[in-house]
Each structure stands twice: as C-alpha cells, then as structure tokens.
Amino acid sequence: MSCVKYRQVNPMIGLLAIVISLGMSLPATAAPTAVVYTEHFNNPTPSTNLNSSSVGWSTYAGSTAVDKTNDGFGTGNQIGISWFTGDPAGPDDGYLFTNNSSTPAMTFGAIDNTFTPISQPQQISWIMGNSVTTTTVRLLVQVSGSWYASSTAYSTNPAISSGSSFTTNAGSLGHTLNFSTAAAGWQNFTLTPGSTMALGSVLGADLPTDEITGIGFYISASTTTTVRLDTLAVTAIVPEPASAMLVAGPLLALGMRRKR
C-alpha cells in the first residue's frame, strides 16, 4: 500500500490570505476630501489699504513684472489688500484688489509666498467681483518648479461696481476650478520678477504631477477696472486612517503573534 504524505500548511498563511481577500473585497467608496488651504486676505487696519506683503503674497504688474509687493497706495496702477469687507463669511475685513487707472490695458500677477505643497487637489475656489465684465482672471498653480495658468479665463457678469456691492453679493460670486492635470486645462506661464510676466500656449503634455507647490492669480484688464478677489480655497483628498487600518490591523496582529 502506498502512503500519501500531506504537507501541513501553516495556519498563519491561511489567515493572511483571508485578510488580503477581505481588503480586496472592500466596497469602493469615494476618497474623503477636505479644505486644506484658505486665504481670506485679511486686513485688520481700519480705513487703510495694505500692500500684499502683509498677507505673505507677492504681486507684479505689466509684461515686465514690476514688483508691487511693498508698494504704497495713491494714484496709478495698484494691487494690494483692501480694508473693505469682502466675503462677509470670512474672519476679518479685506480682499485682494487691483486698479489700473493709469494704464487701461494692464496685467497683474499675485502669488502666495507662504503656500505649503498640496497633493491630490480636487477643487480650487474663490470669490470674485470685477467692475468690468471683460476683465479676466486666471488661476495660477506652480508644479515641479514651473508656473501654469488655467486655460479658462474667469470673469464677472454682471459687473460689480463697488466694494459694498461685492460684500452684499459675495455669496453668488463664487468660481470653482475642478483640478485636473490634463494638458488642455493649462497654459504655460512665465513669471520672472523685474523681467517677464507672460501667458503662453496651451500645454502639449499633461502636468507632470498632481502636487501643487504654489498658487496665485493672473489678471488681465483691457480697460480701467477694479478687480476684487477673496476666500481662495483648495479642497484635496486626505488620508483615511480607518480604511488603512482595516487591512493593516490584522496584518500587524499576525506579525505580533508570529513573534511570540
């Protein structure tokens, strides 16, 4: 009579297979998101406009990117932080504004110098109230050391003629960009302070990564305009510890048991 030998299977291997199977069979759910960045352009100083450095932003004007970060205010082409109330839902008065009373055709750039890199952004939103419907604003993002401008140019219609009107209508003046790395959604953007600020062509390839390392606005006015921007926010995917532990927990327990 022949004798068939059976190899005993380590029960730990079976448990591991069950754990992996459970992890793979978890129902697919939407990744959790949260607002991970907000800029309210706060100005706590009554009746006084502040320069953009007061909120950690750098600002530039014209094709040669004239630095306006620490400028005072008076007449001429201005960009800074208004003392008027912007979004009434914000924590304080203030909003980013531009006014090109000296040069009817003018561009401005504004970027946040205190921005912390964000991975997997999903939406970027802001409130905007321009005094002229033809003036446009593009969102700027920095990725892998280069700047890009949204292919979509955003405008305000109807026009918002005053700061008080901006405050009153803030709830209906929101704009949202659903973030994607797709090439069609972005244009090259050159920003070299004191030298060049220019919008380029639509990308020929997708953004190299979905981590953004900088954020800002590019404003283009063809006539004298006041632009008002407030409550810039980024919503991104955030880690979900509970789902990770559902699979990692049993594996950790298995490892501890084997060490005994």
When comparing pLDDT for 156 and 9, which is higher?
156
For the chain, count helices (H), then strands (E): 3, 14
Of 93-107, 114-128, 233-247, the least confident: 233-247
The mean pLDDT of 116-127, rounded to a whole number, is: 97
Residue range 51-78: mean pLDDT, rounded: 92
Q: What pLDDT score does 27 carry? A: 53
CATH of domain 33-237: 2.60.120.260
Position 20, amino acid:
I
Confidence label for 246 from pLDDT (cuts 50, 70 and 90):
very low
| For the chain, percent of residues with pLDDT exceeding 90 | 71
Average pLDDT over residues 67-71: 94
Cis status, amide bond into 158, omega within 30 of 0: yes
- The residues spanned by each domain of the chain are 33-237
138-155 mean pLDDT = 98
What's the confidence (pLDDT) of residue 28? 52
The mean pLDDT of the chain is: 85
Q: What pLDDT is recorded for position 31?
A: 84
Whether 122 and 102 have beta carbons less than 8 Å apart is answered as no
* pLDDT at position 95 over 60: yes
Tens digit of each residue's pLDDT (9 = 90 or more) over 167-212:
999 989 999 999 999 999 999 999 999 999 999 999 999 999 999 9
pLDDT band at 10 (very low <50, low <70, confident <90, very high): low
Q: What local confidence, expressed as pLDDT, does residue 244 receive?
A: 45
Q: What is the pLDDT of residue 225?
A: 95
Residues in the chain: 260
CB 94 within 8 A of CB 82: yes
pLDDT of residue 230: 97
Quote the pTM value.
0.82
* Percent of the chain with pLDDT strictly greater than 70: 80
Could you list the beta-strand ranges (E) of the chain. 33-39, 57-61, 66-67, 77-82, 95-100, 106-112, 121-128, 136-143, 146-150, 174-178, 186-192, 196-202, 214-221, 226-237
Q: Residue 155 burial (CB < 10 Å; 0-12/13-18/19+)?
A: middle
Residue 14 has pLDDT above 70, yes or no: no
Which structure tokens are listed for 220? 């283009």
**Helix ranges, 169-232 (H):** none
How many CB atoms neighbour CB 133 within 10 A? 13
* CA gap 178, 125 in Å, rounded: 9
